[in-house]
Structure 1
């Protein structure tokens, strides 16, 4: 028995309206398919992401490697360039030192080296110092190599000039040596002739000198010049001598100087002095005569200077006009 009271009395739909149907739900098998498609799509997206990441990593790795290689290449090229520059620098330094060495050799061998060589050597020394201190680059190296080349050409010109000057100097020295030898020979001959002339002149002078003989000294008294040996009686001392004849002696006015020394070693008379050359004498009286190359007798007197002559020995010296001593004699007064 159906229970009619379980059914509703009124319905929401009109009598002629069809009651809406409940939505149909997909079968269970269809829901599973949809889930499977969604999962596959997500797997595809994930695979694409992984591939992109791998590609990006690979690209970065390649880029990093390329950059490292490029950096390495740059460093290697820079080092190679620096090594090449240093090698070229050392070569230029060797060339400059070789140039300086060639100048040093020439200067050492030739102490009279001209100023151009010395200045060129100093210039090279300055270039060497500059090259050693400078931070080298290509342009600087090119400039120094050009300077080294110019200095080498200058060296060649200066050395040729120096060789030419040295040849001229050698020629001049040879001529000077020859002239010097001749001059020495001439000088030696001249010296020999001068010595001979000196000896001859001395011989002539000696031969031309006036000689005296018969030198005598005595004390005299009163107007008649009577000889005496008494000191108190003597009034004057008489000196006489003979001038010998000499054909080569100078004629004309000649002088003789008489020096009388008393017992107390004092020069008596005028006691004047005269000088000829380096000779100086003090004399008592000077005797003047006219000489004609013949013998002539001469006498002269020396008067007392005190009340009387002292007792003792008196000495007389006679000099010619050249102040050569030509005679001496003694007198004793009692």
Structure 2
């Protein structure tokens, strides 16, 4: 009886040892799988971090090419490129955890969208510049005098002190001028003939900028006729050590969103030829320019 009891105890002990051994093997396998899965996740995040950093570097290089063209959007391009550089620095310093990578990817997609908009605007401005250059090349000696006068004004205003940080500068886009004939009914009809025009409609867009401070903005619009004269109010205001003569002031209420500005200037006896239009901000810095022709 005693031998049977001992055999039973030994069998139970062996069974317990086998169970413990199986549990240990199962635990070891589970821990190994967790470790392998964790390594795959970490490797995947490191790969995502490297790919995102490479994409940021490529976009920064694209900005260098566009900035070197010295376009009218140069300051906006530099501000957006700086955001890309700052994001690249954050990505390279990060540990590459899932939460950080998700945040950085979102920031990158937003900056890429803003870059796509600037690229499209840059192409449009280049096309407009080609058209303007072709128009100016066909002008006569009288218009050359007017152009030299306009260039002098631009040079003077470009030398004025800038007090607004580049990143917070508001962009003035799509400056357009249409000549119209206003009928007795009040209806306005667009025209390209000088003798029919009795009013000029000026429009431009203040672009969205989340960095800029909100509040009222004054823009001085200057319209120069074919003889180099300022049309409209012809008011003069001190601009540093010089003065600025303008056609009218447009006061815009800005709240960090895009604002469409539409103004009108009445006139009479418009002369045929090319007219130049300049827009200055409250610091008397030239922020946009264009030209139009009347037959």
By relative contact order (CA 8 Å, sep 6+), the higher-ranking structure is: 2
